[in-house]
Amino acid sequence: MNNLSIAGILEKNRLSSDGAWLLLLEVSIPESEEPLRLVRNNEEIIWNGHTWLAFNFQLGEIMEDSKGSLSTVPLQISNITQAVQAYVEENNGLTGTTVTLRVVHSQYLNNTLPELEEVFTVQSTNCDSKWITFLLGSERSTQVRFPFRRVLKNFCAWRDQYKGIECGYAGSLAECDGTLTSCRERDNEARYGGEPSIPEGGLYA
């Protein structure tokens, strides 16, 4: 499983929360510049500059086979309104198209990177009066974004977001230079966005 951001970890570990984890679904539509964007929520949201329509859908359990590869994953989208079925009928069941699943938190919709992201392709489609069921294949699971950022030994990834959500510093000191020393001066070492444990000269991307 991908690492959560610092903001995500803090929210996950809270005993109670005013927000919720949201599952976003993006389905590519052939010959269309805009994909279908849905959020499993009771109201639409704005994230990353796009509107995500509130919709009822269910994702089956993501399993790995004995070789560590992801198996087929069932995705069910409500067909009560038949709004999605029109795309299915016009595009050969959307077979072979890309489906991207993301997880964001409702309290941090200003974060442009999701907490988790995985890419699949549609292997087959079945429709009835209640559900459209896609079987998502794992051929493109190598497109999982992990990690979401470059990790450096002596440079904080949150330097350009000084005093932002990830940085978390709320004091009066001037702009940080991104070093661990500066973070310690601000008593903010726990939020440091670098990785001092990386061997000298090391970089991970």
pLDDT in tens, 39-71: 999 999 999 999 999 999 988 876 655 655 556
20 and 103 in contact (C-beta within 8 Å)? no
* Helices (H) then strands (E): counts for the chain: 3, 11
Looking at the structure, tell me whether residues 77 and 54 fall in a common domain. Answer: yes
Number of domains making up the chain = 2
pLDDT attached to residue 201: 43
- In this structure, are 165 and 124 located in the same domain? no
- Let me know whether 110 and 11 are in one domain: yes
Residue 147 pLDDT > 50: no
Position 1 in a domain: no
* pLDDT digits 0-9 by tens, 95-125: 989 999 998 888 888 888 888 888 889 989 9
Of 15-29, 32-46, 84-98, 135-149, which gets the smallest average pLDDT? 135-149
Task: Indicate whether 191 and 133 sit together in one domain.
Answer: no
Residue 63 vs residue 159, higher pLDDT: 159
Q: What's residue 145's pLDDT?
A: 47
Residues 161 and 104 in one domain: no
Alpha-helical (H) ranges within 81-200 are: 85-90, 180-185
Are 29 and 127 in a shared domain? yes
Whether 128 is in a domain gets the answer yes
Instruction: Tell me the residue range of the domain where 74 lies.
Output: 6-143
Last residue of a domain, one of 89, 113, 143: 143
Cβ atoms of residues 162 and 114 within 8 Å: no
Question: Is the whole model's pTM more than 0.85, yes or no?
Answer: no
Res 93 pLDDT > 80 = yes
